[in-house]
A = this chain, B = another copy of it.
Amino acid sequence: MGAVAHTQPTRQETCSQCCPRYHEAVELVGKRWTGAILYVLLHGGRLRFTEIANAVPDLSDRLLSERMKELEARRIVVRHVSDGSPTRVSYELTEKGRQLAPAMAELKVWADRWLD
């Protein structure tokens, strides 16, 4: 169970444990398409925009671009621009982003077990 123990905390403890970091994390990862993008980057390593777009078929380029900017601003993703011509832009998870892997893996296990 790691950090979550099945004890019965007081109401005050329940609240203070819940907020605000955990709440922020769960809504960050759960934001529409962000979970899928993180999954693709966790598996694919450094990827170009079109590679991410191809791996998440129903996601529009406009929304993918918006999500990548959010993830960059959060320092979960780093954007690389090559020197060559034409320049090539690629994206990679930072250490902060890669460390989401255990949580995503556990959620995948749950999804495979419990969702149709």
Residues of B within 8 A of A24 (CB): 111, 115
Residues of B within 8 A of A102 (CB): 1-2, 106, 109-110
The contact string, 1 if C-beta is below 8 Å from chain B, for chain A 13-33, is: 011011101111111011110
Given A14-B40, A22-B35, A32-B27, residue A107 in contact with residue B113 (CB < 8 A): no
Q: Is B23 in contact with A35, judged by CB distance below 8 angstroms?
A: yes
Q: Is B43 in contact with A14, judged by CB distance below 8 angstroms?
A: yes
Whether a CB of chain B sits under 8 angstroms from the CB of A99 is yes
Residues of B within 8 A of A108 (CB): 2-4, 21-22, 25
Q: Is B18 in contact with A56, judged by CB distance below 8 angstroms?
A: yes
Interface residues on A, range: 35 or more
What's the Cα separation between A43 and B107 when bound, in Å? Answer: 18
Given contacts A1-B102, A27-B30, A30-B34, 13 further A-B contacts (CB under 8 A): A2-B109, A4-B43, A4-B104, A4-B108, A15-B56, A24-B111, A25-B108, A25-B111, A26-B29, A27-B32, A29-B107, A30-B31, A103-B109
